[in-house]
């Protein structure tokens, strides 16, 4: 009889232990912080330096226009043969796949790294073709250099063989995330997308995770 009672107690203890382990594992699965695959946050958020430019609609645009919103910022130029149109198409796809609550306070900005040729008229035809809500910026060479240095972007001309005016612009192809406090917050390297993953789907999921983890500390105006 005692032997049977001892066995019963042992079974109860084992069941309780298994339940406890299962509960801990379930908690870890449900509440463990999700990891992003492409988006990487900077170790230290840094405020964007003061600069001034104009939107493709001719409106003034400065570092203060990053405040109160999340911004996806890409640096490119209208005569870019492949990287820029691909990036803007992918960003447009991303915007269609992020959570609606995050979509409403996210703006997309393309800053021209070819301000000499990218007139506001050119930008007004080029940028909205990918999405009418996207904003094209021409800040002139000096102001653009201020902004790129502040964010960590490089760009330089690559002269044409026969015509010096027929040049290309080599530039950083990353996308950058500016938070509602006007700080360089994260970056996206499209070329680091795992081969078996879809870029648009992956970056959309990463953006949702990033915003979830950022919580309310970056709420507009705070």
Question: Using CA atoms, how far apart are residues 179 and 184, in angstroms rounded to an integer?
Answer: 7
Q: What's the structural domain count of the chain? A: 2
Question: Using CA atoms, how far apart are residues 217 and 100, in angstroms rounded to an integer?
Answer: 19
Structural domain for 47, as ranges: 39-214
Specify whether 51 is located in the same domain as 11.
Answer: no
Question: Is 222 contained in some domain?
Answer: no
Token reading at 53: 């430019």
Question: Is 220 contained in some domain?
Answer: no
pLDDT in tens, the chain (222 residues): 555 555 666 566 655 555 554 444 443 444 446 889 999 999 999 999 999 999 999 999 999 999 999 999 999 999 999 999 999 999 999 999 999 999 999 999 999 999 999 999 999 999 999 999 999 999 999 999 999 999 999 999 999 877 777 899 999 999 999 999 999 999 999 998 888 899 999 999 999 999 999 986 554 444
Question: Using CA atoms, how far apart are residues 143 and 125, in angstroms rounded to an integer?
Answer: 22
Specify whether 4 is located in the same domain as 89.
Answer: no
């Amino acid at each position: 009889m005692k032997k049977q009672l001892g066995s019963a107690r042992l079974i109860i203890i084992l069941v309780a232990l298994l339940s406890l382990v299962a509960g801990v594992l379930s908690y870890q699965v449900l509440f463990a912080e999700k990891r992003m695959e492409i988006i990487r946050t900077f170790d230290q958020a840094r405020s964007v330096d003061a600069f001034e430019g104009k939107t493709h609609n001719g409106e003034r645009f400065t570092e203060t226009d990053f405040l109160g919103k999340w911004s996806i910022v890409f640096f490119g130029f209208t005569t870019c043969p492949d990287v820029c149109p691909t990036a803007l198409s992918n960003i447009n796809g991303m915007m269609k796949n992020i959570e609606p609550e995050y979509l409403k306070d996210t703006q997309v900005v393309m800053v021209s790294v070819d301000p000499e040729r990218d007139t506001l008229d050119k930008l007004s035809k080029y940028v909205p073709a990918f999405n009418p809500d996207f904003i094209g910026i021409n800040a002139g060479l000096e102001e653009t250099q201020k902004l790129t240095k502040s964010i960590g972007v490089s760009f330089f001309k690559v002269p044409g063989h026969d015509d010096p005016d027929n040049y290309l612009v080599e530039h950083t192809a990353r996308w950058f995330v500016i938070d509602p406090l006007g700080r360089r917050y994260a970056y996206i390297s499209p070329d680091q997308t795992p081969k078996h993953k879809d870029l648009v789907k992956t970056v959309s999921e990463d953006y949702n995770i990033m915003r979830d983890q950022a919580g309310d500390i970056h709420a507009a105006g705070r």
